[in-house]
Structure 1
């Protein structure tokens, strides 16, 4: 078993940090925003009085949640070009991760909406508030407060699944670590450093999320 080489570790660290900041973190932020926005749309679609919309939304959410991310990546990146739709690897990664986690976020939103007391809906009706104002002024502020911890956990999970994008060649951190390993036949240092960077980025966020959850529960 080869010994740990600090000189090699220091050599690969700058490129791994650049890949983390430029791709891993950027993909997480872009896909996270997509998941948050689209998740709300899907949650509202599930609650629609139009059965066609609610059933279609339900089917879409269940289908996406029931299929693995690598298969979705392969389908979008390698399958859609046969239908004339070509997306870059980076765009594919953001869309697939964003849509995948939007389906999970829709369930988070749905739980938050269901937690709003029925009496508040009835009060809004008694006050003749429009549906738009009811959602904007009464429902959504409460929903956002209730779902913040769960939404944070979903974004952390999304962050930790960015390495799946290696299957379509996105130059995120694990992809760069793998390239170093394939060139030098030493995987221990780059892969270990990549794992530590993930840990250092995700663990403090997880702690803050738990503290936020405990504070909102008071």
Structure 2
């Protein structure tokens, strides 16, 4: 099968539309994953044994099971108990929870990197627990973890093709729809691969630039 530029021109608007859906899903899921990850990190470092143990068990369960299985559970199993999620909603929720479990470890590493003297200084200044976290710990813990967080955003973006398994019309979903309808897979899949490669390389370069700037600030 030879390459057909007319076919490319025909399907390109659908792929661009799907790529925009992919980007929006990635951005929303990334924001939610960072919040979920922070909640998990706080819970894992809690002084309450039951809360800490529960957070560790849930986090490990999420990290040790495949994302596709979790996605199927959200989309196909939850309706059996009366919880019906739209494909995009299930995809965003699945991505955010799955990567939130990984991001929690990044946050935890950043928090543990704060010198113990900073905690003691906060106590000496009679700062409350909330003031210690907001004014002392988080401002020092967050900047070092920005590059790893950026890498997880890229990983989430590359994971979105799995959402086509639950009929999300992201860029991969659109490509598969056009390929099956026209019985041509060369152009749609090649264009999707090129789109993912371009966006991933561009994002990685931006993260590298941000990392260098943060190092200069330090």
Query: Which bin holds the TM-score, normalised by the shorter protein?
Result: over 0.9
**Aligned residue among 110, 113, 116 for 1:115:** 113
What residue is the counterpart of 2:32 in the other structure? 34
What residue is the counterpart of 1:56 in the other structure? 54
Distance between the aligned counterparts of 2:204 and 2:53, measured in 1? Answer: 34
What residue is the counterpart of 2:132 in the other structure? 134
Once superposed, what is the RMSD of the aligned Cα atoms? 1.0
Partner deviation per Cα, 1:153-193 (whole Å, 9 max, x = no partner): 01110011001101110111101101111111110101111
- Segments of structure 1 that go 5 or more residues without pairing to the other structure are none
Partner deviation per Cα, 1:102-145 (whole Å, 9 max, x = no partner): 01110010010010011101100111100101110111111111
Q: What displacement does 1:211 show?
A: 2.8
Q: Please give the secondary structure, in 1, of the residue aligned with 2:144.
A: helix
What residue is the counterpart of 1:67 in the other structure? 65
Query: Which of structure 1's runs of 4+ aligned residues deviate more than 4 A?
Result: none
- Segments of structure 2 that go 5 or more residues without pairing to the other structure are none
Q: Is 1:17–2:16 an aligned residue pair?
A: yes
Q: What displacement does 1:210 show?
A: 2.0
TM-score (norm 1): 0.96
Distance between the aligned counterparts of 1:196 and 1:14, measured in 2? Answer: 15
Distance between the aligned counterparts of 1:82 and 1:18, measured in 2? Answer: 32
Distance between the aligned counterparts of 1:142 and 1:5, measured in 2? Answer: 54
Distance between the aligned counterparts of 2:113 and 2:206, measured in 1? Answer: 23
TM-score (norm 2): 0.96
Distance between the aligned counterparts of 1:213 and 1:150, measured in 2? Answer: 10
What residue is the counterpart of 2:151 in the other structure? 153
What residue is the counterpart of 2:3 in the other structure? 4
Distance between the aligned counterparts of 2:202 and 2:88, measured in 1? Answer: 27
> In the comparison of the two structures, how many residue pairs are matched?
216
Distance between the aligned counterparts of 1:107 and 1:75, measured in 2? Answer: 24
